[in-house]
Structure formats: structure tokens, C-alpha cells
Amino acid sequence: MKKILLLSANPQNTDKLRLDEEVREIQTALRQAKNRSQFEIVTELALRVDDLHRVLLEHEPAIVHFSGHGAGNHGLALENNSGQMQLVSTESLARLFGLFQDKIECVLLNACYSEAQALAIHQHIDYVIGMNQTIGDKAAIKFAVGFYNALGAGRSYKDCFEFGCTSVDLQGISESETPVIKARPGRFQTEIKPNAENAVSVASSARDSFRYNEEKVRQDRSVSIGGNVSGSAIQPGDYNVANVQLQPITLPTPESIDIQAEFDALYEILAKLETSDRCKIDNAFADAQEEVNKLQPDKNEVGKALDRAFDYAKKAEGFIHVAEKLKPHLTKTTAWLGENWYKLLSTVGLTT
């Protein structure tokens, strides 16, 4: 069961919003959904700054929905103990949500100019929705209804976002382009398993997977290594032999590299690994991507982030099987980074 935490704040010294109506419409949408038994809704109204971390700790939701006022780069408007507006900074919100990155799947900020907060929170949370400009009550409510109608039908978070935008568009409201989503696929899905038959299927699949893994433990999983070795190789498990032979390569010129395309390719390959360090890999890539997006990126900082990502990735049991796919993209990325980061090549058995 997924827990949805609905948060709202309308401080006394801010414009009155139809937040009660929004909460009611969301509850109705999920109450009428075919998979309604798969969701639990918790509401926290008149949210104070002191309440924020408490309610997240208490409820440990999968989805966090905030309705209220946004102040662009300055943060979101919550209430103080007197019911007056108190802004919570973008940096503080990102830091807080970072503490729940293994619990929260999606954050929806139904507040004006909340794209800045969505981008910051997305460093830690895979799916975050914000607003790139002001949004009226009617559009905000219609977006929420469309989003939760789709969620109750078992659609993915990206689909739910599209249904929300379409719901606004169908009403002839000109704000369907206001919501924006920051999405990082790989960890969480919203697929619903509504009946016992599916549960049996899942259990059977789990048993088959266990038998398969049990057989793999008995196999000799060894990798051939030799030649001039720099760096290290880790092959976890009993009775495993790790041998690495680095293949010499010639790097292309940095000017010829489309670094964004290589980043996308590397992430897509690593996203398929099953590992308990998924969050750490994603966060490292997010740090690298943030630096690459700058007008004058610090390549050393990009290299550090990628080094961190691959340190976690190579511990995954399936890393050996994706190494060949990584080679051409890591080669070009390393060429772009420069000689300080040639050591990354040893991760996939290459050297200059």
C-alpha cells in the first residue's frame, strides 16, 4: 500500500486558496479508483515549519503532495506558530528530502513558481513535479485530479503527470504547460498488483529467482585479468577468482565529444543494474550532470562524481555483463574529462 501525504498551507497574510477543495477532489478521485485499496491518504492542513520533518518521520509516505504558495527561488510558504507566513528555503527543503530518498517516490508541489524547489529536491527524489510560473486554483485542482485518477488506475508517475496536464487542457485552461516534471527512471514504478492471482504470480517469480540465484552461487564466476593493471577489481562471493587484463585504446579528441549524449548512455546502462546502492549511483550522476550543465563546468568535479558512481556500480553482481556496453561511452567521457581521469578506464578493463 502506498501512503500519500497531502500537505497544505495558506498563511493568514497570503491570498486565500481553494486548498480544502483540492484535498476533497483528490480524496474523491482515489476513492473512486479501481485500485483504491492500494492507497492510504493522510492530510496535514495549516502546515507549520516545525511540523514538516515530524510528519515525514511519522508517516513515511511514498508520495508527498504540497498545496499552497510558492515564492520562486526563495522557497515555499508555510506557517509559523502564529499562522503567519514563514518561508522555507529551497536548500533546506532539498536537504530534508535527502533524508527520505529511500522512502519517498514522488513529490508534487502544487504551488506557484515551485520549479526551483522541484529541481533541488530532484537531487534526491526520482520524480518531482513543480510549477514554472503562477497557476490558478482551477488549473491546480484539475491537474491534481487528473494526476490521481491515473495513479489510482496504476499508471506510471510520468503518465500521471501527462494525465494531469491533459486534464487542464481539456477544460480549455491555458495553463497546461505550467506543470513540469523532473524524472529519473529506474527505481520506482506505480504498477499495481490488485488481486491474489497476481500476488501468487509474484511469489512464484520470487521463488524461481531464488532458485536461479542459488544455482549461480555454485558456479565459478571468474573474470580474466592480466597485463599492466592500474586501479582495482572487486568480485564479491565465495570461491571467486578475479583476473583483469586491460586493453590499450586510443582516445578521441575532447572537441569531438557530445558529453550529454555520453552521459545519457552511461546512465541508461547503469540504471539496469540491480543494486542496493541505486540511490548513491543516481545521486552521483545527478551531481555530475549539475556540473556539466554549467557554462564552464569543472571537469575535475565531474570526474569525482563519476568515480563515485562507478565505485558503487562495480560492486553490483551484474556489472561484469554491462562492461562491454559501457566501454565506448566511458572512453569518450574520459577523453572529454582529460588525463586526470584516465583511471576511470580501468573500471571496464581499458587503459590508454
pLDDT value for 122: 96
**Is it the case that residue 95 has pLDDT exceeding 70?**
yes
Q: Which of 156, 183, 210 is the last residue of a domain?
A: 183
Same domain, 247 and 315: yes
Higher pLDDT, 246 or 107: 107
- Report the mean per-residue pLDDT for the chain: 84
Same domain, 119 and 248: no
pLDDT value for 188: 54
Q: Which domain holds residue 286?
A: 221-351
Q: Is residue 276 very low, low, confident or very high in pLDDT (cuts 50, 70, 90)?
A: confident
Q: What is the 3-class SS of 281-333, one letter each residue?
A: HHHHHHHHHHHHCCCCCCHHHHHHHHHHHHHHHCCCCCHHHHHHHHHHHHHHH
Residues 248, 70: Cα–Cα separation, whole Å? 54
Is 83 part of a structural domain of the chain?
Answer: yes
Q: Which of 183, 210, 239 is the last residue of a domain?
A: 183
Residue 335 phi/psi, 5° resolution? -60, -40
Residue written as cell 521463488? Answer: 207
CATH number at residue 120: 3.40.50.1460
Distances (CA, A) of 310 to 75, 123, 238, 345: 34, 18, 23, 11
Q: Is residue 314 very low, low, confident or very high in pLDDT (cuts 50, 70, 90)?
A: confident
User: What's the whole-number mean pLDDT along residues 13-36?
Assistant: 94
Same domain, 10 and 155: yes
Q: Which of 129-133, 195-199, 299-303 is least confident?
A: 195-199
User: What's the whole-number mean pLDDT along residues 25-41?
Assistant: 94
Is 205 part of a structural domain of the chain?
Answer: no
Strand partners, 128: 107, 182
pTM: 0.56
Number of domains in the chain: 2
Is 161 part of a structural domain of the chain?
Answer: yes
pLDDT value for 239: 41
